[in-house]
Chains A and B, each alone.
Chain A
Amino acid sequence: MIARACRQLCALLALALLPAIVAGALQLHKVKPDPMPQVEPAQVRAWGEAVLLVDARPRKEFERDGLPDSVLLNEDEWNALIPDFLNQWEPDKRIVVYCGGGGCQASKAVAARLRTELQLENVHVLKGGLKAWRSE
């Protein structure tokens, strides 16, 4: 039974290969490499005052445990929060966007919008998010 299962498994995996190759040829060009630079918490601390920290999480989480001197800017309230962000922003400051933990997508999404919609260049994503910041 095990030998039969292995043979059938190989056949099944081979069967899946053909549509996967076709789909890959059609779709994979849409996958773009992640161009967003990520910075370690230690690097951000070394930058000192010349940093504007942006919290990309929902308001409730920001109010609960957002970093001091950070500014809230998330996708849900983008238009409402932009004026406050611009008030805090200074051209010579690096922008570091964070969300809850490593791998969360909110910080990348907000950083990407800051780059594309506001044409800001000095935008970074905090590697490991808030968890990494607090663990160091």
Chain B
Amino acid sequence: MALRVIELALRLGLAGIFLYAGALHAWDAPQFVMAIQAYDLLPPDATMLLGVYLPWVEICAALALLFRRLYLGALGAVAGMLLVFLGGIISAWARGLDISCGCFRAAESIQTHFPMLVARDLTMLAAVAVLFALEGRAQPRPAEWLMRPSA
């Protein structure tokens, strides 16, 4: 029971965060493109494609988490995005960039606090790992299948 509550809380939490971020980014894709450009990691054309595509991956993954459809794929997508975000943030931090992270509102005026962003993304990544583990536990093992009496 406790595991189910934890699973539900993590799933809804992640879905809510990604749905909110994705909706904001999709609503104002040009601003999001500019936020990605500020990281100075990709050529302009690639930032434009990523700025348009990524918000919809966030939204689709969030909805899949919410309704538990394509669930493992959604967990994989969220984990992949978090790893990409972490890479971008750490790279910007290492290069001493003074940029808005673009995590939610693309045109955030507050100064980016890199350690907090890294901690936040690592926390979400840990949540994804827990959900993966819980899903793995829920899968019947081959040995259990073998031991079940045939109907």
- Residue count of chain B within 8 Å CB distance of chain A: 41
Tell me whether chain A's interface is mostly helix, strand or loop, or mixed: helix
Q: Which residues in A have their C-beta under 8 angstroms from that of B135?
A: 1
The answer to whether B73 touches A102 (Cβ under 8 A) is no
Chain B residue nearest to A21 in the complex (CB):
B52
Tell me whether chain B's interface is mostly helix, strand or loop, or mixed: helix
What per-residue 1/0 map shows which CB atoms of B40-63 lie under 8 Å from chain A? 100010001101110111011100
| Given the contacts A8-B76, A31-B30, A20 and B96 also touching, CB distance less than 8 Å | no
The answer to whether A8 touches B73 (Cβ under 8 A) is yes
Whole-angstrom CA separation of A34 from B49 in the bound complex = 16
Q: Does A7 contact B (CB under 8 A)?
A: yes
Q: Which residues in B have their C-beta under 8 angstroms from that of A10?
A: 73
CB within 8 Å of B: which of A8-56? 8-13, 15-17, 19-20, 23-24, 27-28, 30-31, 33-34
A: residues with CB less than 8 A from B are 1, 4-13, 15-17, 19-20, 23-24, 27-28, 30-31, 33-34, 99-105, 129, 131
